[in-house]
Structure 1
């Protein structure tokens, strides 16, 4: 039966309240949603027109192709006339603004993003240095306050609960990607921020500021992992403010490091370098050699992307020196991830960046470092393992060992299928392109197409 509704909607409003439909909406199972719409007489062409997708995309989704990107989910919900709350999309005002702005066509997206990067850098400088260095301070980071009741007085045990929740959610992010836990982080954060209104000792308040900074940092990181730039920026901005209120220089450095990594991912090494250099000041003030090592390593990565090998060499040398001085058991919790394995991983990333300009020299070096980290990754670090295998495979191919690159690359695809991260398809793009260069090698051509299909299935 065709139940196309009035006022231009595809179906009558009551269709969205059916049991099967509500279950599909709640789980964001777009494939099932489209199948149910088909049962109600809605054609693939009508779905495509309403959601802004091609008919071939709709067809692929009907066959089981997943949709995980927030922007696409929001566009589908709005296009079909689904109440956003049915899909758990209504809580994030910053994302809603971003979606609206990106659809408005008022100005080029590149210009918008440039302005946003500059505003965040201005905010970061103002918080980290106590003065607005690059322009007027941007202060609109605060999200709407939550309404869930909270205690009127808190102690250290309440703060420790926040820390435990953050650790558990961070472990999920490391293992399965931000898509498995971002909503939970944001929800937990809304509740935790209510504790700011409770009475407590000065010691508890300082620990609360630190805990909220760390949770905001995780919310920013998981937002970035799902491709949600504006919410990521908002959370990182608030994380900086709380870290500064807690007088925690190491955590200030960590937040700046993470935002710098966002810009590295989007191939903006100059902006990343500015944030890493700001973070380096805070890292030095913290007295933590491990924090300084993290900042040096990532400055080296930015210099690699800028093809400045002399600067890379200096930064990697300093990274190794600071790492050798660090006492891991005394380091702050949020930098203890940077162990021997991660040192190999970031060194491999630096050489991978340089290999884009000089593959003959740097690709073998990238392979050697990524092999070391990939041998040590376990199931708790699946996303990092995918990234490491992708880099190793790419540089095997750059170095001329195409078959080994294909073999390692297939491992990356196998593990990548288990990770809910918008970064995975982005980070595998170089592998696809390198394999495609070998036009006379049928295995390489087939593998490049396999990577392309994998990336396409994970990117929508």
Structure 2
């Protein structure tokens, strides 16, 4: 925020350089998440919350508004996935909600479909089959409005599956469109051990 002579606050003026920094930050954390798992990224991503709030409340030129919303949605989607990966499901759902709201504002149907798919994965992991299928169905609606044929194919798969063991729907596999393939817990723990000395840089 900018402090005026009278002590009031003016919103930050968001420029293209801010968006490039946001996009670079998201790519860096996504790569780290892929290598080491969500537990390594969750706390640093949470610490970026105040920065993303300043950007969201900032003064944005109309030509950059949709891009800003899309970039913030992408970051919150990644944050939610790392929270889910590290066992913080309620926090993950809240972050998914923010991501979905921003993706809707940006008009990015493919990203919204991705968010719905991930929310469905969380619900399915917790045995909430009906809620998971509802998320997948909403994801299909978004995917049909988007441009990704792969998104439509992945999201249509869960609803075509019959009940799995113990009457539960078999979890869909996570493809390259919706995120990194799910690793087993021991494999992720081994990777995290290798990455224990990794340092991440938060934007100034």
Verify same fold: TM over 0.5: yes
| Number of the residue aligned with 1:204 | 64
Contact 2:37 2:188 in 1 (8 A): no
RMSD: 3.1
| Partners of 1:260 and 1:292 in 2: CA distance | 14
Q: Is residue 2:90 matched to residue 1:230?
A: yes
Q: Which of 121, 124, 138 in structure 2 is aligned with 1:261?
A: 121
Q: Is the 8 A contact 1:189 1:216 kept in 2?
A: no
Contact 1:155 1:200 in 2 (8 A): yes
Gaps spanning 5+ residues in structure 2: where?
Answer: 1-8, 193-204
Task: After TM superposition, list the pairs within 5 Å mapping 1:252-401 onto structure 2.
Answer: 252-300=112-160, 303-305=162-164, 337-338=176-177, 384=182, 386-387=183-184
Question: Match of 2:189?
Answer: 417
- Partner Cα separation in structure 2 for residue 173 and residue 273 of structure 1: 26
Whether the aligned pair in 2 keeps the contact of 1:269 and 1:305 (CA below 8 Å) is no
- The Cα shift of 1:200 comes to 2.3
Q: Which has the larger Rg?
A: 1
User: Cα distance, 1:151 vs. partner?
Assistant: 7.6
- Structure scoring higher RCO (CA < 8 A, sep ≥ 6) equals 2
CA contact (8 A) 2:96 2:119 kept: yes
Change (3 A) 1:165 1:196: same
Superposition pairs of residues 5-404 of structure 1, within 5 angstroms? 152-300=12-160, 303-305=162-164, 337-338=176-177, 384=182, 386-387=183-184
Secondary structure of the 1:181 match is helix
Task: Identify, as 1 or 2, the structure richer in helix.
Answer: 1
In the TM superposition, residue 219 of structure 1 has moved relative to its aligned partner by 1.2
Aligned partners of 1:256, 1:292: CA distance in 2, in Å?
12
Note the C-alpha offset of 1:296: 1.8
Q: Distance in 2 between matches of 1:243 and 1:220?
A: 14
Q: CA deviation at 1:417?
A: 3.4
For residues 21-77 of structure 1, the C-alpha deviation after alignment (integer angstroms, 9 at most, x for no partner) is: xxxxxxxxxxxxxxxxxxxxxxxxxxxxxxxxxxxxxxxxxxxxxxxxxxxxxxxxx
Structure 1 gaps of 5+ residues are 1-148, 317-334, 343-380, 388-411, 421-460
Contact 1:182 1:223 in 2 (8 A): yes
Partner of 1:456: none
Q: Deviations over 1:132-169 (max 9, x none)?
A: xxxxxxxxxxxxxxxxx998212222112111111111
Aligned match of 2:197: none
Name the CA shift for 1:307/1:274 in 2 (closer, same or farther; >3 Å): farther
Q: Distance in 2 between matches of 1:215 and 1:276?
A: 21
In 2, are the aligned partners of 1:151 and 1:198 still within 8 Å (CA)? yes
C-alpha distance in structure 1 between counterparts of 2:177 and 2:111, whole Å: 14
Over 3 Å counting, the alpha-carbon distance change for 1:150 and 1:171 in structure 2 is farther
Deviations 1:111-134 (A, max 9, x none): xxxxxxxxxxxxxxxxxxxxxxxx
Q: Distance in 1 between matches of 2:39 and 2:98?
A: 21
Give the C-alpha shift of residue 419 in structure 1: 4.1
How much does 1:300 deviate?
A: 4.5
Aligned residues: 181
1:207–1:306 Cα change, 3 Å: farther
Distance 1:150 1:160, change over 3 A: farther
